[in-house]
Amino acid sequence: MAATRSVPSSCKSPKFVHKLKSPSVSASLPLPKPPAINGLKNKKYQVRSEIRNFDNHQNWIIEADPVRFIHNSSLPTPASVPMATSSSALESSVKNAKKVCLFYCAETKALAERIAAHSDSIEIRSITWRKFDDGFPNIFIPNAHGIRGQHVAFLASFNSPAVIFEQLSVIYALPKLFISSFTLVLPFFPTGTSERMEDEGDVATAFTLARALSNIPISRGGPTSLVTFDIHALQERFYFGDNILPYFESGIPLLKNRLQQLPDSENISIAFPDDGAWKRFHKQLHHFPMIVCAKVREGDQRIVRIKEGDPSGRHVVIVDDLVQSGGTLIECQKVLAAHGAAKISAYVTHGIFPNRSWERFEHDNGGNPENGLTYFWITDSCPLTVQAVMHKAPFEVLSLAASIASALQV
């Protein structure tokens, strides 16, 4: 649950308000009666009333946050400040917040809890995941009648083909329970790298998964909304049919916020391992100096070289949408170090790391960028990876929870 705000102790003491004499206001001016706020009788309004009673000459702006006050003596007198306006705005904001019932699979429980912690409007609901003796899923949605007329979301993780079927079964069932709307949150679209058909006989599994999701039954509120982050190929948005509304988000804002917190934030350059990564992300990172790498073929080998930019003396952050074996990132790291980078870090939205390939990345804490990374940032879009690398340098996890909570209010 979201943390409850408490009124600072200073707000409860008369010392918090200093009296100011105002020649424009008569000392005998009566205080206006407290406005009727549709039956709201809570401590938030009592705080407002107590502070106004200390001195009816004081001028205040009362923001939507009920315990935050800004003083400005040039504003109108209290008799003309419509206190009901801010109170009504607060009440309206709370009233209009969309209440969402958030279901999750076993792998995404921790992320679901982080999402719910960002909003009182999100309520976590559980599903009973069982299996029959033959291995096929035996699933039960408790209190199915209780979600009728509600906005419902499901937080999925297609971390392996083995779990996709049981989650699809739930995804197909929820919209049929007379719910107001349905949102599927799939932070990582796993078949995104499998969209190309280069030889006759290649199967584009990205299209297959998009077609399966496009056939989710329509709820009472209309087509399903699909929230996903940094899909590998932008053209994949055209794989989806009319029964689903893809909502594409990015983890790059999380990276930008983290970079601003670094002590050497003014000395950061962004490196892209190939043109594809540059096309995908350069507009969101345009205010950083950029370095673009490229793979070139020499005989039977593919070697990474710097195509544009100068890493010399810089803290270079390699940015891409996902990592699997990590071979390209390591080659990129080597060439950047050879050209004088002072520090090298990496960011990917989706840390897949099959077969524990994250173990290939060492931590550099002594100015040896050719041997390791200062930081390796990933998001929690792949829950099993998060469990594996938690508290292991150089990895840091940037949570998508706040972004997902916001997306559920759209």
Instruction: Say if residues 114 and 143 touch (Cβ distance below 8 Å).
Output: no
Q: How far apart are CA 382 and CA 401, in angstroms?
A: 13
Query: Which pLDDT band holds residue 112 (cuts at 50, 70, 90)?
Result: very high
DSSP classification of residue 43: H
Q: How much is the pLDDT for 87?
A: 53
CATH number at residue 175: 3.40.50.2020
Q: How far apart are CA 184 and CA 213, in angstroms?
A: 9
Q: How much is the pLDDT for 93?
A: 55
**Residues 230 and 106 occupy one common structural domain:** yes
Average pLDDT, the chain: 81
Residue 75 included in any domain: yes
**Residues 85 and 107 occupy one common structural domain:** no
Residue 393 included in any domain: no
Q: How much is the pLDDT for 40?
A: 42
Its domain, for residue 177, covers 100-249
Parallel/antiparallel/unpaired status of strands 224-229 and 181-185: parallel
Q: How far apart are CA 92 and CA 141, in angstroms?
A: 32
Query: Which pLDDT band holds residue 203 (cuts at 50, 70, 90)?
Result: confident
Residue 386 included in any domain: no
Q: What is the pLDDT of residues 381-395, one digit of tens each?
A: 999 999 999 999 999
Choose the final residue of a domain: 249, 275, 300: 249
Q: How much is the pLDDT for 170?
A: 98
Parallel/antiparallel/unpaired status of strands 268-272 and 290-298: parallel
Give φ, ψ of 183 to 5 degrees: -125, 130
Query: Which pLDDT band holds residue 298 (cuts at 50, 70, 90)?
Result: confident
**Residues 200 and 121 occupy one common structural domain:** yes
DSSP line for 202-217: ---HHHHHHHHHHTSP
**Residues 106 and 186 occupy one common structural domain:** yes
Tell me the three state secondary structure of residue 171.
helix
Q: Is the pLDDT higher at 188 or at 302?
A: 188
**Residues 87 and 172 occupy one common structural domain:** no
Cis peptide before 187 (omega within 30 of 0): no
**Residues 227 and 259 occupy one common structural domain:** no
Query: Which pLDDT band holds residue 301 (cuts at 50, 70, 90)?
Result: confident
DSSP line for 242-276: TTEEEEEE-SHHHHHHHHHTSTTGGGEEEEESSHH
Q: Is 102's pLDDT higher than 80?
A: yes
Choose the final residue of a domain: 73, 96, 119: 96
Q: What is the pLDDT of residues 313-354, one digit of tens each?
A: 999 999 999 999 999 999 999 999 999 999 999 999 999 999
Instruction: Say if residues 99 and 151 touch (Cβ distance below 8 Å).
Output: yes
Residue 409 included in any domain: no
Token pair of 87 as six digits: 């109170």
**Residues 269 and 239 occupy one common structural domain:** no
**Residues 239 and 191 occupy one common structural domain:** yes
Prediction pTM value: 0.76
| Terminal CA-CA length for the chain | 20
**Residues 270 and 192 occupy one common structural domain:** no
Residue 401 included in any domain: no
390 alpha-carbon distance from chain centroid: 18
What's the alpha-carbon Rg for the chain, to the nearest Å? 27
Q: How far apart are CA 400 and CA 114, in angstroms?
A: 9
**Residues 217 and 140 occupy one common structural domain:** yes
Query: Which pLDDT band holds residue 62 (cuts at 50, 70, 90)?
Result: very low
Residue 290 included in any domain: yes
**Residues 256 and 244 occupy one common structural domain:** no
DSSP classification of residue 280: H
Q: Which long-range contacts (CB under 8 A, 24 or more apart) does 122-130 make?
A: 122/405, 122/408, 123/99, 125/101, 127/103, 127/170, 129/105, 129/166
Q: How much is the pLDDT for 321?
A: 94
Q: What is the pLDDT of residues 366-375, one digit of tens each?
A: 889 999 999 9
Q: How much is the pLDDT for 155?
A: 98
Q: How far apart are CA 158 and CA 187, in angstroms?
A: 9
Residue 144 included in any domain: yes
Tell me the three state secondary structure of residue 49.
helix
Q: Is 32's pLDDT higher than 60?
A: no
Q: Is 89's pLDDT higher than 50?
A: yes
Q: How much is the pLDDT for 59?
A: 40
- Count structural domains, the chain: 3
**Residues 290 and 164 occupy one common structural domain:** no
Choose the final residue of a domain: 225, 249, 273: 249
